[in-house]
Protein backbone atom coordinates (compact mmCIF):
# COMPACT_ATOMS: atom_id res chain seq x y z
CA UNK A 1 0.00 0.00 0.00
CA UNK A 2 2.86 2.33 0.89
CA UNK A 3 4.70 1.45 -2.31
CA UNK A 4 1.67 2.37 -4.41
CA UNK A 5 1.33 5.78 -2.77
CA UNK A 6 5.03 6.54 -3.21
CA UNK A 7 4.89 5.64 -6.87
CA UNK A 8 1.82 7.85 -7.34
CA UNK A 9 3.53 10.81 -5.70
CA UNK A 10 6.60 10.41 -7.93
CA UNK A 11 4.41 10.31 -11.04
CA UNK A 12 2.65 13.48 -9.94
CA UNK A 13 5.98 15.30 -9.45
CA UNK A 14 7.24 14.23 -12.89
CA UNK A 15 3.99 15.32 -14.53
CA UNK A 16 4.18 18.72 -12.89
CA UNK A 17 7.83 19.18 -13.96
CA UNK A 18 7.08 18.28 -17.57
CA UNK A 19 4.08 20.62 -17.63
CA UNK A 20 6.20 23.46 -16.22
CA UNK A 21 8.92 23.00 -18.88
CA UNK A 22 6.31 22.97 -21.66
CA UNK A 23 4.80 26.23 -20.34
CA UNK A 24 8.24 27.91 -20.15
CA UNK A 25 9.11 26.78 -23.69
CA UNK A 26 5.80 28.01 -25.12
CA UNK A 27 6.20 31.37 -23.34
CA UNK A 28 9.69 31.88 -24.80
CA UNK A 29 8.54 30.95 -28.28
CA UNK A 30 5.57 33.31 -28.10
CA UNK A 31 7.83 36.15 -26.87
CA UNK A 32 10.27 35.71 -29.75
CA UNK A 33 7.45 35.75 -32.28
CA UNK A 34 5.96 38.93 -30.86
CA UNK A 35 9.37 40.67 -30.80
CA UNK A 36 10.16 39.78 -34.41
CA UNK A 37 6.83 41.15 -35.57
CA UNK A 38 6.88 44.44 -33.63
CA UNK A 39 10.62 45.35 -33.99
CA UNK A 40 11.22 47.64 -37.00
CA UNK A 41 13.68 46.49 -39.61
CA UNK A 42 17.12 48.25 -39.29
CA UNK A 43 17.87 50.61 -42.14
CA UNK A 44 21.39 51.16 -43.43
CA UNK A 45 22.41 54.34 -45.17
CA UNK A 46 24.25 53.74 -48.43
CA UNK A 47 27.26 55.82 -47.24
CA UNK A 48 27.97 53.46 -44.36
CA UNK A 49 28.37 50.60 -46.80
CA UNK A 50 30.93 52.43 -48.97
CA UNK A 51 34.60 52.51 -47.98
CA UNK A 52 37.05 55.09 -49.23
CA UNK A 53 40.01 53.68 -51.12
CA UNK A 54 42.93 53.25 -48.72
CA UNK A 55 45.97 55.47 -49.31
CA UNK A 56 49.33 53.73 -48.86
CA UNK A 57 53.02 54.61 -48.83
CA UNK A 58 55.93 52.21 -49.32
CA UNK A 59 58.44 51.83 -46.49
CA UNK A 60 61.95 52.17 -47.92
CA UNK A 61 63.42 49.91 -45.21
CA UNK A 62 61.16 46.85 -45.32
CA UNK A 63 59.29 47.46 -48.59
CA UNK A 64 55.84 47.12 -46.99
CA UNK A 65 52.85 49.13 -48.16
CA UNK A 66 51.90 51.24 -45.14
CA UNK A 67 48.27 52.29 -44.90
CA UNK A 68 47.68 55.96 -44.15
CA UNK A 69 44.74 56.08 -41.71
CA UNK A 70 42.61 59.18 -41.99
CA UNK A 71 44.48 60.62 -44.97
CA UNK A 72 42.61 63.91 -44.51
CA UNK A 73 44.40 64.43 -41.18
CA UNK A 74 47.66 62.53 -41.72
CA UNK A 75 50.13 62.84 -44.59
CA UNK A 76 52.07 60.01 -46.18
CA UNK A 77 55.28 61.31 -44.63
CA UNK A 78 53.78 61.32 -41.12
CA UNK A 79 52.49 57.76 -41.53
CA UNK A 80 55.86 56.62 -42.87
CA UNK A 81 57.77 58.25 -40.02
CA UNK A 82 55.45 56.65 -37.44
CA UNK A 83 55.91 53.23 -39.02
CA UNK A 84 59.71 53.57 -39.01
CA UNK A 85 59.78 54.72 -35.38
CA UNK A 86 57.55 51.82 -34.29
CA UNK A 87 58.91 49.01 -36.44
CA UNK A 88 62.56 49.75 -37.15
CA UNK A 89 64.06 52.07 -34.54
CA UNK A 90 64.35 49.29 -31.93
CA UNK A 91 66.43 47.14 -34.28
CA UNK A 92 68.94 49.87 -35.01
CA UNK A 93 72.19 49.14 -33.21
CA UNK A 94 71.18 45.52 -32.48
CA UNK A 95 71.23 44.18 -36.02
CA UNK A 96 73.79 46.44 -37.63
CA UNK A 97 71.27 48.60 -39.44
CA UNK A 98 72.52 52.07 -40.16
CA UNK A 99 70.04 54.63 -38.88
CA UNK A 100 68.54 56.65 -41.70
CA UNK A 101 67.25 60.14 -41.13
CA UNK A 102 63.43 60.16 -41.55
CA UNK A 103 63.73 63.44 -43.47
CA UNK A 104 65.72 61.70 -46.21
CA UNK A 105 63.81 58.43 -46.46
CA UNK A 106 61.06 59.47 -48.95
CA UNK A 107 63.72 59.86 -51.68
CA UNK A 108 63.15 56.15 -52.36
CA UNK A 109 59.84 57.05 -54.02
CA UNK A 110 61.67 58.78 -56.89
CA UNK A 111 62.18 56.35 -59.74
CA UNK A 112 63.37 56.48 -63.32
CA UNK A 113 65.73 59.26 -64.28
CA UNK A 114 68.30 60.01 -66.94
CA UNK A 115 71.99 59.10 -67.10
CA UNK A 116 74.51 61.83 -66.40
CA UNK A 117 76.42 62.83 -69.56
CA UNK A 118 80.12 62.08 -69.33
CA UNK A 119 81.16 65.75 -69.37
CA UNK A 120 79.22 66.34 -66.13
CA UNK A 121 80.23 63.18 -64.26
CA UNK A 122 82.51 65.13 -61.94
CA UNK A 123 79.43 66.93 -60.58
CA UNK A 124 77.74 63.74 -59.36
CA UNK A 125 79.12 64.08 -55.85
CA UNK A 126 77.57 67.53 -55.48
CA UNK A 127 74.00 66.19 -55.75
CA UNK A 128 74.27 62.53 -54.73
CA UNK A 129 72.40 62.90 -51.42
CA UNK A 130 68.67 62.12 -51.09
CA UNK A 131 66.25 65.01 -51.06
CA UNK A 132 64.57 66.14 -47.83
CA UNK A 133 60.99 65.06 -47.34
CA UNK A 134 59.32 68.33 -48.25
CA UNK A 135 60.83 68.15 -51.75
CA UNK A 136 59.37 64.73 -52.34
CA UNK A 137 55.83 64.78 -53.65
CA UNK A 138 56.47 66.63 -56.87
CA UNK A 139 54.69 66.76 -60.17
CA UNK A 140 56.93 67.01 -63.20
CA UNK A 141 55.86 70.38 -64.48
CA UNK A 142 57.43 72.02 -67.57
CA UNK A 143 59.70 74.40 -65.66
CA UNK A 144 62.92 73.95 -67.64
CA UNK A 145 62.96 75.34 -71.15
CA UNK A 146 65.14 73.35 -73.53
CA UNK A 147 66.37 74.00 -77.04
CA UNK A 148 66.04 71.47 -79.81
CA UNK A 149 68.08 68.37 -79.06
CA UNK A 150 68.72 69.32 -75.42
CA UNK A 151 67.63 67.27 -72.44
CA UNK A 152 66.37 68.81 -69.22
CA UNK A 153 69.09 67.16 -67.17
CA UNK A 154 71.80 68.68 -69.38
CA UNK A 155 70.34 72.16 -68.93
CA UNK A 156 70.24 71.80 -65.14
CA UNK A 157 73.72 70.29 -64.97
CA UNK A 158 75.05 73.19 -67.02
CA UNK A 159 73.46 75.58 -64.50
CA UNK A 160 75.21 73.67 -61.72
CA UNK A 161 78.53 73.77 -63.56
CA UNK A 162 78.28 77.55 -64.00
CA UNK A 163 77.38 77.95 -60.33
CA UNK A 164 80.37 75.89 -59.21
CA UNK A 165 82.69 77.83 -61.51
CA UNK A 166 81.53 81.20 -60.17
CA UNK A 167 81.35 80.41 -56.48
CA UNK A 168 84.85 81.74 -55.77
CA UNK A 169 83.47 85.24 -56.25
CA UNK A 170 82.73 86.80 -52.86
CA UNK A 171 79.20 87.90 -53.73
CA UNK A 172 78.31 84.48 -55.14
CA UNK A 173 79.75 82.75 -52.08
CA UNK A 174 77.81 85.04 -49.77
CA UNK A 175 74.61 84.23 -51.69
CA UNK A 176 75.40 80.52 -51.40
CA UNK A 177 75.86 80.79 -47.62
CA UNK A 178 72.64 82.79 -47.28
CA UNK A 179 70.83 79.99 -49.11
CA UNK A 180 72.47 77.38 -46.88
CA UNK A 181 71.22 79.30 -43.83
CA UNK A 182 67.65 78.63 -45.00
CA UNK A 183 67.98 75.18 -46.65
CA UNK A 184 70.92 73.46 -44.95
CA UNK A 185 69.40 70.00 -45.41
CA UNK A 186 69.83 70.09 -49.21
CA UNK A 187 72.92 68.81 -50.99
CA UNK A 188 75.58 71.35 -51.93
CA UNK A 189 74.68 71.13 -55.62
CA UNK A 190 70.99 71.72 -55.05
CA UNK A 191 71.79 74.67 -52.76
CA UNK A 192 73.71 76.22 -55.64
CA UNK A 193 70.81 75.58 -58.04
CA UNK A 194 68.30 77.19 -55.65
CA UNK A 195 70.57 80.20 -55.12
CA UNK A 196 71.01 80.71 -58.88
CA UNK A 197 67.34 80.41 -59.84
CA UNK A 198 65.63 81.97 -56.81
CA UNK A 199 68.09 83.94 -54.67
CA UNK A 200 65.26 85.44 -52.59
CA UNK A 201 63.67 82.07 -51.77
CA UNK A 202 62.61 81.70 -48.15
CA UNK A 203 60.87 78.31 -48.03
CA UNK A 204 60.64 75.73 -50.80
CA UNK A 205 58.58 72.57 -51.10
CA UNK A 206 57.21 70.21 -53.71
CA UNK A 207 53.93 70.81 -55.53
CA UNK A 208 51.95 68.23 -53.57
CA UNK A 209 53.55 69.20 -50.27
CA UNK A 210 52.17 72.71 -50.70
CA UNK A 211 48.75 71.17 -51.41
CA UNK A 212 48.95 69.23 -48.14
CA UNK A 213 49.66 72.54 -46.39
CA UNK A 214 46.57 74.10 -47.95
CA UNK A 215 48.42 76.16 -50.55
CA UNK A 216 48.57 75.99 -54.33
CA UNK A 217 51.17 77.08 -56.85
CA UNK A 218 50.05 80.24 -58.67
CA UNK A 219 49.18 79.91 -62.31
CA UNK A 220 52.14 80.59 -64.58
CA UNK A 221 54.83 80.13 -61.91
CA UNK A 222 57.95 78.25 -63.00
CA UNK A 223 59.44 75.77 -60.59
CA UNK A 224 62.98 75.79 -59.24
CA UNK A 225 64.67 72.86 -60.96
CA UNK A 226 66.83 70.66 -58.76
CA UNK A 227 68.26 67.16 -59.15
CA UNK A 228 66.99 64.05 -57.37
CA UNK A 229 69.40 61.10 -57.44
CA UNK A 230 67.84 57.79 -58.36
CA UNK A 231 69.22 55.60 -55.62
CA UNK A 232 70.51 52.11 -56.51
CA UNK A 233 68.22 49.21 -55.57
CA UNK A 234 68.66 47.77 -52.10
CA UNK A 235 69.65 44.12 -51.65
CA UNK A 236 67.10 41.58 -50.46
CA UNK A 237 67.23 38.99 -47.70
CA UNK A 238 68.05 35.49 -49.09
CA UNK A 239 65.69 33.91 -46.55
CA UNK A 240 62.48 35.96 -46.63
CA UNK A 241 63.05 38.26 -49.61
CA UNK A 242 62.58 41.49 -47.62
CA UNK A 243 64.48 44.55 -48.84
CA UNK A 244 67.30 45.56 -46.52
CA UNK A 245 69.71 48.44 -46.14
CA UNK A 246 72.94 48.08 -48.08
CA UNK A 247 74.84 48.46 -44.78
CA UNK A 248 72.76 45.88 -42.88
CA UNK A 249 74.35 42.68 -41.63
CA UNK A 250 71.05 41.12 -40.52
CA UNK A 251 67.54 41.12 -41.99
CA UNK A 252 65.19 43.38 -40.00
CA UNK A 253 62.29 40.98 -40.64
CA UNK A 254 63.58 37.45 -40.02
CA UNK A 255 66.98 38.16 -38.46
CA UNK A 256 68.89 36.11 -41.03
CA UNK A 257 72.53 37.08 -41.60
CA UNK A 258 73.14 38.90 -44.86
CA UNK A 259 76.44 38.65 -46.67
CA UNK A 260 78.32 41.64 -48.01
CA UNK A 261 76.58 42.99 -51.09
CA UNK A 262 78.42 45.19 -53.53
CA UNK A 263 76.13 48.10 -54.32
CA UNK A 264 77.01 51.12 -56.42
CA UNK A 265 77.17 54.00 -53.96
CA UNK A 266 77.31 56.97 -56.33
CA UNK A 267 74.10 57.29 -58.37
CA UNK A 268 74.59 57.87 -62.08
CA UNK A 269 70.92 58.47 -62.86
CA UNK A 270 69.08 61.62 -61.84
CA UNK A 271 65.65 63.09 -62.34
CA UNK A 272 64.94 66.78 -62.76
CA UNK A 273 62.29 67.69 -60.19
CA UNK A 274 60.83 71.02 -59.16
CA UNK A 275 60.23 72.87 -55.94
CA UNK A 276 58.37 76.15 -55.46
CA UNK A 277 59.06 78.99 -53.08
CA UNK A 278 56.44 80.22 -50.62
CA UNK A 279 56.12 83.44 -52.67
CA UNK A 280 55.05 81.35 -55.68
CA UNK A 281 52.04 79.92 -53.83
CA UNK A 282 48.77 81.18 -52.45
CA UNK A 283 46.16 79.83 -50.06
CA UNK A 284 46.14 79.02 -46.37
CA UNK A 285 48.57 81.24 -44.41
CA UNK A 286 51.47 79.70 -42.53
CA UNK A 287 51.50 81.71 -39.28
CA UNK A 288 54.14 79.49 -37.68
CA UNK A 289 56.69 80.41 -40.34
CA UNK A 290 58.59 83.65 -40.00
CA UNK A 291 61.56 84.82 -42.06
CA UNK A 292 63.85 86.76 -39.72
CA UNK A 293 64.96 90.19 -40.89
CA UNK A 294 68.72 90.22 -41.37
CA UNK A 295 70.21 92.86 -39.07
CA UNK A 296 73.55 93.66 -37.48
CA UNK A 297 72.06 94.05 -34.02
CA UNK A 298 72.95 91.55 -31.32
CA UNK A 299 70.32 88.86 -30.91
CA UNK A 300 70.27 88.16 -27.17
CA UNK A 301 68.27 84.97 -27.54
CA UNK A 302 70.84 83.63 -30.02
CA UNK A 303 73.61 84.76 -27.64
CA UNK A 304 72.05 82.70 -24.86
CA UNK A 305 71.53 79.67 -27.06
CA UNK A 306 75.16 79.67 -28.22
CA UNK A 307 76.38 79.98 -24.63
CA UNK A 308 74.15 77.08 -23.58
CA UNK A 309 75.41 74.96 -26.47
CA UNK A 310 79.03 75.77 -25.59
CA UNK A 311 78.50 74.65 -21.99
CA UNK A 312 76.79 71.44 -23.16
CA UNK A 313 79.89 70.68 -25.25
CA UNK A 314 82.15 71.15 -22.23
CA UNK A 315 83.62 74.42 -23.49
CA UNK A 316 84.81 77.08 -21.08
CA UNK A 317 83.89 80.54 -22.37
CA UNK A 318 85.85 83.42 -20.86
CA UNK A 319 85.25 87.18 -21.10
CA UNK A 320 88.17 88.17 -18.88
CA UNK A 321 90.21 91.27 -19.64
CA UNK A 322 93.53 90.68 -21.43
CA UNK A 323 95.35 94.03 -21.66
CA UNK A 324 98.46 92.28 -22.99
CA UNK A 325 96.53 90.79 -25.96
CA UNK A 326 96.87 92.29 -29.43
CA UNK A 327 93.89 94.73 -29.66
CA UNK A 328 93.04 93.51 -33.15
CA UNK A 329 92.29 89.99 -31.82
CA UNK A 330 88.60 89.75 -30.92
CA UNK A 331 88.56 86.14 -29.75
CA UNK A 332 90.43 82.86 -29.58
CA UNK A 333 89.77 79.12 -29.53
CA UNK A 334 92.27 76.70 -27.95
CA UNK A 335 91.33 73.12 -27.08
CA UNK A 336 88.20 73.31 -24.91
CA UNK A 337 88.50 77.02 -24.16
CA UNK A 338 87.06 80.07 -25.91
CA UNK A 339 88.00 83.65 -25.12
CA UNK A 340 85.91 86.63 -26.25
CA UNK A 341 87.13 90.20 -25.84
CA UNK A 342 84.94 91.74 -23.11
CA UNK A 343 85.05 95.44 -24.03
CA UNK A 344 83.58 95.04 -27.51
CA UNK A 345 79.99 95.94 -28.51
CA UNK A 346 77.44 93.19 -28.00
CA UNK A 347 77.06 92.52 -31.75
CA UNK A 348 80.83 92.06 -32.13
CA UNK A 349 80.89 89.69 -29.16
CA UNK A 350 78.14 87.61 -30.74
CA UNK A 351 80.02 87.48 -34.06
CA UNK A 352 83.18 86.39 -32.27
CA UNK A 353 81.36 83.80 -30.16
CA UNK A 354 79.75 82.24 -33.26
CA UNK A 355 83.12 82.16 -35.02
CA UNK A 356 84.98 80.51 -32.14
CA UNK A 357 82.26 77.92 -31.49
CA UNK A 358 82.36 77.10 -35.21
CA UNK A 359 86.15 76.74 -34.82
CA UNK A 360 85.57 74.18 -32.08
CA UNK A 361 83.27 72.12 -34.30
CA UNK A 362 85.55 72.45 -37.33
CA UNK A 363 88.80 71.49 -35.63
CA UNK A 364 87.73 69.79 -32.42
CA UNK A 365 84.76 67.74 -33.64
CA UNK A 366 85.29 67.15 -37.36
CA UNK A 367 89.10 67.35 -37.31
CA UNK A 368 89.27 69.76 -40.24
CA UNK A 369 92.84 70.93 -40.98
CA UNK A 370 93.74 74.39 -39.70
CA UNK A 371 94.47 75.65 -43.24
CA UNK A 372 90.75 75.27 -44.07
CA UNK A 373 89.18 75.62 -40.61
CA UNK A 374 89.51 79.41 -40.50
CA UNK A 375 87.34 80.06 -43.56
CA UNK A 376 84.99 77.21 -42.68
CA UNK A 377 84.45 78.70 -39.20
CA UNK A 378 83.89 82.19 -40.62
CA UNK A 379 81.50 80.87 -43.26
CA UNK A 380 79.58 78.74 -40.74
CA UNK A 381 79.29 81.68 -38.34
CA UNK A 382 77.81 83.79 -41.14
CA UNK A 383 75.28 81.10 -42.12
CA UNK A 384 74.21 80.41 -38.52
CA UNK A 385 73.79 84.11 -37.81
CA UNK A 386 71.76 84.58 -40.99
CA UNK A 387 69.52 81.67 -39.98
CA UNK A 388 68.51 83.69 -36.90
CA UNK A 389 68.35 87.03 -38.72
CA UNK A 390 71.77 88.24 -37.57
CA UNK A 391 74.21 89.55 -40.19
CA UNK A 392 77.82 89.01 -39.12
CA UNK A 393 78.92 91.60 -41.68
CA UNK A 394 81.21 89.28 -43.66
CA UNK A 395 81.84 90.68 -47.12
CA UNK A 396 84.90 88.82 -48.39
CA UNK A 397 85.99 85.19 -48.31
CA UNK A 398 89.46 85.26 -49.90
CA UNK A 399 90.29 81.61 -49.30
CA UNK A 400 87.43 80.39 -51.46
CA UNK A 401 89.36 81.31 -54.60
CA UNK A 402 92.14 78.98 -53.44
CA UNK A 403 89.67 76.16 -52.88
CA UNK A 404 88.12 76.64 -56.31
CA UNK A 405 91.42 75.82 -58.02
CA UNK A 406 90.66 72.20 -57.16
CA UNK A 407 86.97 71.35 -57.51
CA UNK A 408 87.30 68.28 -55.27
CA UNK A 409 88.77 70.42 -52.48
CA UNK A 410 86.03 73.02 -53.03
CA UNK A 411 83.32 70.35 -52.85
CA UNK A 412 84.81 68.86 -49.67
CA UNK A 413 85.11 72.20 -47.89
CA UNK A 414 81.62 73.34 -48.86
CA UNK A 415 80.36 70.04 -47.49
CA UNK A 416 82.38 70.69 -44.30
CA UNK A 417 80.71 74.09 -43.95
CA UNK A 418 77.31 72.45 -44.27
CA UNK A 419 78.21 69.77 -41.72
CA UNK A 420 79.30 72.39 -39.19
CA UNK A 421 76.24 74.57 -39.87
CA UNK A 422 73.78 71.67 -39.63
CA UNK A 423 75.36 70.29 -36.44
CA UNK A 424 75.35 73.66 -34.67
CA UNK A 425 71.79 74.50 -35.78
CA UNK A 426 70.54 71.13 -34.54
CA UNK A 427 72.26 71.77 -31.21
CA UNK A 428 70.83 75.28 -30.93
CA UNK A 429 67.31 73.99 -31.60
CA UNK A 430 67.58 71.83 -28.47
CA UNK A 431 68.66 74.67 -26.18
CA UNK A 432 66.23 76.76 -24.16
CA UNK A 433 67.66 80.21 -24.78
CA UNK A 434 69.01 82.78 -22.38
CA UNK A 435 68.75 81.09 -19.01
CA UNK A 436 72.51 80.50 -18.77
CA UNK A 437 73.51 84.07 -19.63
CA UNK A 438 73.53 85.36 -16.06
CA UNK A 439 75.32 82.23 -14.83
CA UNK A 440 78.09 82.07 -17.47
CA UNK A 441 78.48 85.53 -18.96
CA UNK A 442 77.23 88.36 -16.82
CA UNK A 443 78.73 86.96 -13.64
CA UNK A 444 82.04 87.92 -15.23
CA UNK A 445 81.34 91.66 -15.27
CA UNK A 446 79.13 92.22 -18.31
CA UNK A 447 75.92 94.21 -18.16
CA UNK A 448 72.64 92.33 -18.03
CA UNK A 449 71.07 92.27 -21.51
CA UNK A 450 67.77 93.86 -22.25
CA UNK A 451 65.15 91.29 -23.13
CA UNK A 452 63.70 91.81 -26.58
* Alpha carbon distance 358, 352 (integer Å): 10
| pLDDT score of 97 | 31
Domain end point (choices 283, 317, 348): 283
| pLDDT score of 259 | 60
Domain end point (choices 283, 318, 346): 283
| pLDDT score of 361 | 95
Residue 178 sits in the same domain as residue 276: yes
Domain end point (choices 248, 283, 318): 283
| pLDDT score of 4 | 57
Structural domain for 314, as ranges: 300-444
| pLDDT score of 393 | 83
* Alpha carbon distance 417, 235 (integer Å): 33
Residue 169 sits in the same domain as residue 142: yes
| pLDDT score of 40 | 52
Nearest of 372, 363, 380 to residue 422 by alpha carbon: 380
* Alpha carbon distance 85, 92 (integer Å): 10
Residue 273 sits in the same domain as residue 367: no
Per-residue model confidence as pLDDT tens digits over 424-437: 998 988 876 444 44
Residue 221 sits in the same domain as residue 319: no
Element (H, E) at 165: helix 152-166
**CB pairs under 8 A, 24+ apart, for 26-29?**
none
Nearest of 165, 181, 168, 166 to residue 396 by alpha carbon: 168
Nearest of 147, 169, 168, 173 to residue 158 by alpha carbon: 147
Residue 271 sits in the same domain as residue 306: no
* Alpha carbon distance 110, 108 (integer Å): 5
Structural domains of the chain, count: 2
Contact 337, 315 (CB under 8 A): yes
Does 387 fall in a domain? yes
| pLDDT score of 441 | 42
Residue 353 sits in the same domain as residue 278: no
Task: Please state, in angstroms and as integers, the Cα–Cα distance from residue 60 to each residue in 56, 88, 104, 105, 262, following that order.
Answer: 13, 11, 10, 7, 19
Nearest of 370, 366, 423 to residue 399 by alpha carbon: 370
Residue 186 sits in the same domain as residue 322: no
| pLDDT score of 241 | 67
Nearest of 177, 220, 194, 176 to residue 380 by alpha carbon: 177
Q: Is 10 exposed, middle or buried (0-12, 13-18, 19+ CB in 10 A)?
A: exposed
Residue 175 sits in the same domain as residue 273: yes
Residue 279 sits in the same domain as residue 345: no
Q: Flag residues of the chain having pLDDT under 70.
A: 1-7, 13, 24, 31-63, 69-78, 80-81, 84-112, 133-150, 231-236, 238, 241-249, 252-253, 257-266, 287-291, 432-452
Q: What is the number of residues in the chain? A: 452
Ranges of beta strands (E only) in 280-375 are 281-283, 316-318, 331-334, 337-340
Residue 318 sits in the same domain as residue 343: yes
* Alpha carbon distance 152, 155 (integer Å): 5
| pLDDT score of 359 | 94
| pLDDT score of 401 | 79
| pLDDT score of 425 | 92
Amino acid sequence: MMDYRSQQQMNDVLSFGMSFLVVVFMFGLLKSLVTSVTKPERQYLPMTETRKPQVTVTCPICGKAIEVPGYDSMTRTEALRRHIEQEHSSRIGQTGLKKTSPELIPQILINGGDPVPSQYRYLVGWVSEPLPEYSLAMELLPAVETAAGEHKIEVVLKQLKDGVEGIQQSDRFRLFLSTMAKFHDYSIGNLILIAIQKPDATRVAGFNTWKELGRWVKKGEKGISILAPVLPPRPTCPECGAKVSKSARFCPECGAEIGTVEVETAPLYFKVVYVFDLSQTEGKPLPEFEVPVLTGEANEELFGKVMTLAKAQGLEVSFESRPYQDPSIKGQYIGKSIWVKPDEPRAQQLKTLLHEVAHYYSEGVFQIPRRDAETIAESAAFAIGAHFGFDTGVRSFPYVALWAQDKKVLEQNLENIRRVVSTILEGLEKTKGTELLSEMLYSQGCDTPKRR
